[in-house]
Structure 1
């Protein structure tokens, strides 16, 4: 039974990863990749992915739809909580003042956090409400594409 559960979880993780990368986000799997990406000039949206069914099922579609906007981040990246632990821990070092939360979104500008959308702002909300939060942050902090 444990083997079947592991196979199931591998499928869930693979699907969750695929949803985000198909939307145009780059996976960061190591701490070095996180530092390199988050220290680039400009704006970066970090999606902290998660296998959490309820919140993840809202966050991933929101991540895909929010970027279809006149203003959007220069860079879209993702780390996977519970899977790529070093990368996720390194990304969270940039989210000063916020406890670990997954799924979640962080918008950084020149390596500094300007907006955080935490799990409690995702779970139990409609995907469009999360899209609106993200697009409001893009409006304030990003350039027109």
Structure 2
């Protein structure tokens, strides 16, 4: 489950210090809150793989693993202001500020390509000016 993302080049953040280092660095960062649930396997992780082929990309794509890397996940969620904790979820931050978020209820029951379309539209809107 971890390897599905790290094989794509997604950086895994396993401590709160790593989260602060990356999310505090500025630029655009896609944050994937990974999980063991079926909708992460069927929908979220495949959607990230599709979105990584899009022409416009954020500066970084990172992941934390809910339920396994508790400290890192809790710290990442502090950057996801205004939304409840959700696993899986996919968020785009620009300069450490939340710009776009797909929560579990927006991932469950949807096809990976539909989710990837939402993500790449966010890339086009928030990352295209970089």
TM > 0.5:
yes
Bigger Rg, structure 1 or 2: 1
Q: Where does the alignment leave 5 or more consecutive residues of structure 2 unmatched?
A: none
**Contact 1:107-1:113 at 8 Å conserved across structures:** yes
In 2 relative to 1, CA 70–144 (structure 1 residues): closer, same or farther, beyond 3 Å?
A: farther
TM-align CA RMSD: 1.3
Q: Which residue is 1:108 aligned to? A: 93
More contact order relative to length (CA 8 Å, sep ≥ 6): 2
Correspondence for 2:47: 62
Q: Where does structure 1 lack aligned partners over 5 or more consecutive residues?
A: 1-15
Q: Secondary structure at the match of 1:59?
A: helix
Match of 2:26 in 1: 41
SS in 2 for 1:134: helix
Q: 1:81 aligns with which of 57, 66, 69?
A: 66
Question: TM (normalized to structure 1)?
Answer: 0.86
Residue 94 (1) aligns with residue 82 (2): no
What CA distance in whole angstroms lies between the structure 1 residues aligned with 2:74 and 2:39?
23
Q: 1 CA distance for matches of 2:107 and 2:67?
A: 18
Which of the pair is proportionally richer in helix?
1
- Secondary structure of the residue that 2:64 maps to in structure 1? strand
Moved over 6 A (4+): none
Report the CA distance shift for 1:41/1:139 in structure 2 as closer, same or farther (over 3 A). Answer: same
**Which stretch of the first structure deviates more once superposed, 124-133 or 48-57?**
48-57
Say whether the 8 Å CA contact 1:49–1:78 is kept in structure 2.
yes
Partner Cα distance (2:79, 2:129) in 1: 25
**Counterpart residue number, 1:10:** none
Equivalent pair of 1:55/1:124 in contact (CA under 8 Å) = no
